[in-house]
Structure 1
Amino acid sequence: MSILKTSLITLVSLFAVLWHGGGISMAQTVIPLPQNSSPGTGTFRITEETKLYTNLKGHEKERLTAYLSTIPAPFDKKFKGNKSPRENVIILQKSRDAASAPEGYSMEVTPAHILIRSTTDTGLFYGLQTLMQLAQPADGTSLEVASVKIEDAPRFDYRGLMIDVSRHFRSKEFVKKQIDAMARYKLNRLHLHLTDAAGWRIEIKKYPRLTDFAAWRPEANWKKWWFADNGRKYCNESDPKAQGGYYTQEDIRELVEYASERHITIIPEIEMPAHSEEVLAAYPELSCPGEPYESADFCVGNEDTFSFLEDVLTEVMELFPSEYIHVGGDEASKATWATCPKCAKRMQDEKLKDVDALQGYLINRIEAFLSRHNRKLLGWDEIMNDSLAPNAAVMSWRGEEGGINAVRNGHRAIMTPGTYCYIDQYQDAPYSQPEAIGGYLPLSKIYSYNPTPEALTEEESRLIYGVQANLWAEYIQTDEHYEHMLYPRLMALAEVGWSRPDRKSYAHFHSRALKEIEWLRSRGYHTFPLKDEIGNPHNASQPVSHLALGKPVKYNAPYNPNYQAQGDKTLTDGKRGGWTYSDGAWQGFISRDRLDVTIDLEAVTELRSISADFIQVVGPEVFLPREIIISVSSDGTDYNEVKRIEHETSTSEVFTFRNFGWEGDTSARYIRFQARADKTLGGWIFTDEIIVK
């Protein structure tokens, strides 16, 4: 057996300095929660006599050595000796008859030894991460670990985080810091969103203008730049106002190696055919108009587009050894394709029926190119088409339907629906938080997610590859804000991806997360203060009783099918909305007349008040109404207007609620409630309940 030996100062530094924290010394303190554990008797004490051994060899031993070398504490990095003592020893043993899953491990802690076994060095690494969380300070010079037996393995093979470095660039050091936390929580995929309209973030030697020009803009703040009157322009790196940045190829190699030492694969994303304004500003000949700032989509009819994309992907593949290369594929407007002669010819030559098929042509052609280089294509759920190659994988972000369709067509699916996995949403009462894109995604909701849809059979479920959290950065300018959005929600995602549903308890997880936040803060992470969480509005969990409860509602203008909430019964079902308009209680209107409904009380009734709440979230263009009109009628034909409210809608109120209504004394059977949008702002109107008293 090859042996890894360290002194006390190695172990005390390794465990006490980096991973010590308060809490009970037992497997139930670990995040993510191990699959099976049973307590023993006594404790193992790490002292200056403790030895650390492994039988790893070659690259695996080198990878472990490299990982240990990054620990900011002195220790002996030399491997020596060939015989393990029987007591006071920690053994990392790779063995064919160990845990069955490739990333699984077993751990046995007794007063005499700690034995971690796995069939892979990755499993041993995860066992080491568990041990690091279990080790607690015993006194000033030693640590102790309670005796325990653990059998552990992940539920899903893919457990990921997407970091958006396009909207606001993040330094190499910042990314490494998040990789360290990912390793602690046994996450194994880092998806880097490297390209988008806001900036190109990776050096491509064949196309230097991508980093000389497309990586820079004259405004650091994305929101100001995106909504600027003069329109989303880029600038040269030499411009005194230039803001942005990119990773050199050497930076990328360094990040890939750093992640590999922590058993994390980095998956690069190069957006196509849409979200490519920055590329087409630098190389406008690749767009249909042929002019900068005129299109976000590559011209699929232009053969030069494919030469460019293949050149870029060739350099990307040289840097990233990942099995998958992410190509985006989402939100293509396709607007310029319909009138482009080159695209028309491509459609004719390839017998494509419409512009949607034109996108499928691009995706399939890029997939074939990647396949020739022994790589696989990964993209958002818009890449799905009838001829998509079986080895392509799909990220389901627009709900779960894309993932379900992918699986039923034989593709791997990574579940990342916005409702549960988009952690750019508010995690607490928006008025108490830094600005976010909108929505409300608290820790408890992420934790409740099951990535395996109930609609799938057991056999189909095997193609659910895993789960991923996505943190888009439009509204996140600083590193501190980014970490505030990540933690502790990333811990919940890690447990969703690793632990079995029957092992999970939110109350238990919440207590562990509170303690883990203390550790993160001690290591310089800027977390959300979970202990001060406000939670959902009280009225969101308390049904409201009123005169219109359960009464029929006639929609004179339709609600939007994407935000129908509970359908026709929504506005009189007694349910109040919370911090997000997508919580199933708020109903959304974007038709020309916006909100216009008639409630039938089914009998003439004495009325004292009629009111409704509205929500405003400026980012997704959800605004308070400009005008509210409330009318009543006894016969449903002749209406008397009892209240008209003029409201000046202001975008300075990034997030707000407002109640509009009438109070008085009248009798009526029918109530007509209208709410109209500001003609200049447009956008959505959302309400949850029309309360009649």
Structure 2
Amino acid sequence: MRLNKTFPLLLSLALLLGLGSAQAQNQVATPAISIIPKPQHLTPQSGHFTLNADTKVHVPAKNEELKSIADQLAQSIKTATGVQPQVVQKDPKKKARNIIQLSLTTAPDTLGKEGYTLEVTPEQIILAANQPNGLFIGSQTIQQLLPPQPTKAPVTIPAVSIADKPRYEWRGMHLDVTRHFMPVEFVKQYIDYLAMHKLNTFHWHLTDDQGWRIEIKKHPKLTEIGAWRDSTLIGHYWDLPQTYDDKRHGGFYTQEQIKDVVKYAQERYITVVPEIEMPGHVLAALATYPELACTEGPFKVEGKWGIFDDVFCAGNEQTFAFLEDVLVEVIALFPSEYIHIGGDEAPKTRWKVCPKCQKRIKDEGLKDEHELQSYFVQRMEKFLNSKGRQIIGWDEILEGGLAPNATVMSWRGEKGGIEAAKQKHNVIMTPGNYVYFDHYQGDRELEPVTIHGANPLSRVYAYNPTPAELSKEEQKYILGAQANVWTEYMPNPKHVEYMAFPRIAALSEVLWTPLHLKDWEDFKTRMQQQYQRYDAMGINYAKSAFQVKQQLQVVPERKAAKVTFTTDAAGTDIFYTLDGSEPTAQSQKYTGPFELTKAAVIKAGSFKDGKLIGQATTKVFDAHKGFNRKVTLAREPHRSFSPGTATLVNGLYGTTDHYDGHWLGYLKNDLEAVIDLEQVQSISRISSSYVQHIGYRVFLPKQIEYAVSEDGKNFKTVKVISNTGKEEGIMRKTVAAEFPATKARYVKVTARNVGIAPAQYPVAGRETWLLVDELSVE
């Protein structure tokens, strides 16, 4: 291979990769350079390279793999500039000009298989790597040096020297196509999205209770029956009563389509890891072959979400024969080292009473049903190992004993991953509280319905997949991480885009960029160009990062609230109102924290070029007569919801997220609170606020009593309000009582807990929560 005179500079840059330190990115102010994920070493240079109709892309002769990379790059350049450079298969002359050169090198080895060096000069662009993987990834960097919006040639690319490689080996995104089927065209587009963010693993969730999406030729009924359901749940799971759309939904991928997707991914150096769920989440399979269950059924392909008792029978040899048939065909379709076998959320209810399962436990000398699951997983692992493959499972596969060679995907926090790493097993981190992209990413009052939780852009960016409690040796078992996109509440590709973008950009930097180079403010700045790229590509990304986060902090000595606004986006101005009206670019501009001493309905929004981006957020500050007064409770709240009595009179209101820190709570017990107004005064209105989330056993009170007193001993009831019990679903409710003006110093609020969940609810018979927030007196 022939390299020109600039390669020594690239070599010296690349050698720095082994030293683990880089600060060059900030040496020169170059706003035109905005790369995500941030490279390890980036040094701006003088001048620029001009792309025009005569620019050519050079790759070594007789190397079709590199030519494919060059062709993709040339097509991307055409999209950005309107001009497609000619791809030339030959080594360039030393002083060749106006070329983009792609070359393989064997030095330095610190680049690894995915690292690359990139040198942009006024004469040429040189991209070098040890492996084609690195060249492809480097070509994504070149694309980010192009204008974010399509521009007619000639186009200039800033001169720069880059040496780069990833922090983690496994950089992934997951897509669930069972809850809602996604067309193959979108699956390919999704793979393109991974590639542009330098991710390298696509976890394809193909089977579940709600649908079987992969053609298995030996068992064709799996897609004839299991790929289709008769109806789908409308709204949120906890919207009660549950209703359905009565529309047939489904679909599946033929083996030819899967081969095409796998090939498409390979051309982008992305590994496709299929997931075939077992032993739980299998109702689509049981609806097709009920003989594989512990009971006779009948079963149906589920139209709602959740965890179901019916699983594969672990005592039935036919189950394992069936799964081996399936996996043989899966292996033939997917060349990936790993096959994901699920293993999560598999209730042991049926196994405990199944004669076949109990016989298996006895015959195998197992202790209990947890060890039976371990037996199940280990048996499948042994089969896959015999075919040259490895298994991955969700962290439940730790229960009952981990299979000898299994890799653990830790989703219930990091505990499972830490435990597996300590046992010297490979781990993929994917904790729900950081990288589940089906969680809310903004103000839930403004966001489309999704499952629960909150993972805004800033939280995703803050994630570090390597737990500090692991030793240096144990940390080696953390292969990387991925984000999961479960589609219960994502019925179509555009909704998937909304939930994945822009959080995928934060994920990419978490997994690529060294920890010491991560910088949240810098990332927000670089995202300004990334949003322009998303716009140019027609991606339906969420504007949630532009939502104004309103922080209100009580200032007791001044009986005020300090208001601070922030966003997860850079490059915007914040305008706000205090009367509940919609803000405009002519409203009050936010320049820093300010104080409120009077009641206000605050609405704030992010503006760019005079236009509101996304939606304005709303907060209420209630400077009522009881604000910041002493509150006495008849009984202490439960430790799980004990933010202090001040939360009841701080002028602030909780949200429908009952874990937002505003709610004071009781399990089964009632609330009795007395507010001391400090002096006798006239009052005519009392209100109290509650939240309901029946799925978490949080109910509105069954009765509320308001009473007043001048001496704190003799109370007079002014209103008793009974709850009809007909209000269902997730909600926040303020219950107010108005009455003729009355003299009082003390106000008593008594709210009676439902106590035990009524029979009509899924949580029937269990103790209920009563959660209360602001007690307002006027």
Class of the TM-score when normalised by the shorter of the 2 chains: 0.7 to 0.9
User: Within 2, Cα distance between the matches of 1:274 and 1:605?
Assistant: 62
Change (3 A) 1:203 1:113: same
For residue 13 of structure 1, what is the aligned residue in structure 2? Answer: none
**Residues 340-392 of structure 1, C-alpha deviations (whole Å, 9 max, x = no match):** 00011001011111111111111111111111111111111111146423431
Amino acid at match of 1:81: K
Give distance in 2, aligned partners of 1:527 and 1:542. 32
1 CA distance for matches of 2:715 and 2:371? 51
Moved more, 479-488 or 249-258: 479-488
**SS state at 1:431 partner:** coil
What is the aligned counterpart of 2:101 among 68, 91, 94?
91
Q: Tell me how far 1:81 sits from its aligned partner.
A: 3.0
Following superposition, the deviation at residue 566 of structure 1 comes to: 6.1
1:179 maps to 191
Please, what TM-score do these two structures have when normalized by structure 2? 0.75
Judged with a 3 Å threshold, the aligned counterparts in structure 2 of structure 1 residues 359 and 139 are, in CA distance, closer, same or farther, namely: closer
Taking the aligned partners of 1:596 and 1:172, their CA distance within structure 2 comes to 54
- The 1-side partners of 2:712 and 2:61 are apart by 82
Residue 122 of structure 2 corresponds to: 111
Aligned residue number for residue 279 of structure 2: 273
Cα deviation per residue 1:510-557 (whole Å; 9 max; x = unaligned)? 2333432222222222121357524467579979973357x788457x
Matching residue of 1:324:
338
Contact 2:629 2:677 in 1 (8 A): no
Percent identity at matched positions?
Answer: 37
- Decide whether aligned partners of structure 1 residues 151 and 69 sit closer, same or farther in structure 2, where only a CA change above 3 A counts: closer
2:39 to 14, 34, 37: 34
- The answer for the alignment partner of 2:293 in structure 1 is 287
Work out which of the residue numbers 78, 81, 102 in structure 1 matches 2:113: 102
Distance 1:57 1:384 in 2: 49
Q: Which residue of 471, 479, 486 corresponds with 2:493?
A: 479
The answer to whether the 8 A contact 1:548-1:599 is kept is: no
Moved more, 393-402 or 513-522: 513-522
CA contact (8 A) 2:290 2:298 kept: yes
* Matched residue, 1:614: 690
TM-score by length of 1: 0.83
**Is the CA contact 2:180–2:487 (under 8 Å) kept in the aligned structure 1?**
yes
Question: Quick one: which amino acid aligns to residue 286 of structure 1?
Answer: L
For residue 51 of structure 1, what is the amino acid of its counterpart? Answer: K
User: What's the CA shift string for 1:435-476, capped at 9, x where partnerless?
Assistant: 222333221221122222232223222222212111111111
Show the 5 A alignment for 1:134-149.
134-136=145-147, 140-149=152-161
* Worse overlay, 595-604 or 393-402: 595-604
Describe the superposition over 1:4-29 as per-residue Cα deviations: whole angstroms up to 9, x where unpaired.
xxxxxxxxxxxxxxxxxxxx965851
> Could you tell me whether the CA contact under 8 Å between 2:692 and 2:731 is conserved in 1?
yes
Amino acid at match of 2:496: Y
Q: Which moved more, 1:643-652 or 1:292-301?
A: 643-652
Using the TM superposition, name which of 321-330 and 681-690 deviates more.
Answer: 681-690
CA deviation map 1:299-325 (0-9, x unaligned): 111111111111111111111111111
Superposition deviation, residue 128 in structure 1: 0.9
- Aligned partners of 2:395 and 2:409 also within 8 Å: yes
- Note if 1:505 corresponds to 2:505: no
Moved more, 486-495 or 682-691: 682-691
Alignment of 1:292-307 (within 5 A): 292-293=298-299, 295-307=309-321
Deviates more, 1:572-581 or 1:119-128: 572-581
1:627 aligns with 702
Tell me whether 1:256 sits opposite 2:262 in the alignment: yes
Number of residue-to-residue matches in the alignment: 656
8 Å Cα contact 2:59/2:90 also seen in 1:
no
* Distance in 2 (alpha carbons) for counterparts of 1:252 and 1:426: 31
Partner of 1:17: none
Q: CA deviation at 1:187?
A: 1.0
In structure 1, the partner of 2:670 is 596
**Aligned with 1:467: secondary structure?**
strand
Change in 2 beyond 3 A, CA 1:508/1:552:
farther
> Using the alignment, how far apart are the partners of 2:183 and 2:284 within structure 1?
20
The residue identity in structure 2 corresponding to 1:191 is H
- Asked if structure 2 preserves the Cα contact closer than 8 Å seen for 1:547 and 1:691, the reply is no
After the TM superposition, which of the residue ranges 326-335 and 516-525 deviates more from structure 2? 516-525
Name the residue aligned to 2:352: 338
Residue 688 (structure 2) pairs with residue 676 (structure 1): no
Contact 2:690 2:773 in 1 (8 A): no
Shift of 1:289: 0.4
- Deviation of the 1:612 alpha carbon: 5.2
Distance 2:106 2:506 in 1: 32
1:219 is the counterpart of 2:213: no
**CA distances 1:468-496 after superposition (whole Å, capped 9, x unpaired):** 11111111112222211111111111111
2:205 and 2:276 in contact (8 A); partners too: yes
Match of 1:15 in 2: none
1:527 counterpart SS class: coil
Alignment of 1:12-31 (within 5 A): 28-31=33-36
Alignment CA distance shift 1:640-1:686 (3 Å) = same
What is the CA deviation profile of residues 585-629 of structure 1, one whole-angstrom value per residue up to 9, with x for unaligned ones? 55677x5x2x535669999998979865433457x5676515243
Query: Is residue 658 of structure 1 aligned with residue 740 of structure 2?
Result: no
Q: 1:390 to 1:102 in 2, by over 3 A?
A: farther
Q: Which amino acid aligns with 2:104?
A: K
Amino acid at match of 2:133: T
Specify the alignment match of 2:19 in structure 1.
Answer: none
Gapped runs of 5+ residues in structure 2?
A: 4-28, 301-308, 555-560, 564-620, 622-626
Aligned CA distance change for structure 1 residues 242 and 399 (closer, same or farther; 3 Å)? same
User: 2 CA distance for matches of 1:162 and 1:197?
Assistant: 18
Larger radius of gyration: 2
Offset, 1:412: 1.7
Q: How does 1:188-227 map to 2 (within 5 A)?
A: 188-219=200-231
Q: Which amino acid aligns with 1:676?
A: V
Are 2:89 and 1:80 aligned? yes
Matched with 1:546 is 628
Q: Distance in 1 between matches of 2:214 and 2:461?
A: 34
> Is contact 1:466–1:497 with CA below 8 Å preserved after alignment?
yes
Match of 2:658 in 1: 581
Per-residue CA deviations over 1:175-202 (Å, capped at 9, x if unaligned) read 1111111111111111111111111000
Q: 1:687 aligns with which of 736, 756, 771?
A: 771
Whole-Å Cα distance in 2 between the matches of residues 572 and 225 of structure 1? Answer: 30
Change (3 A) 1:139 1:219: closer
Q: Distance between the aligned counterparts of 1:138 and 1:434, measured in 2? A: 31
2:543 & 2:127 partners in 1: Cα distance?
A: 34
The residue identity in structure 1 corresponding to 2:125 is I
The amino acid of 2:324's aligned partner reads E
- Equivalent runs, 1:116-155 vs 2, <5 Å: 116-136=127-147, 140-155=152-167
Q: How many angstroms apart in 1 are the aligned matches of 2:671 and 2:238?
A: 36
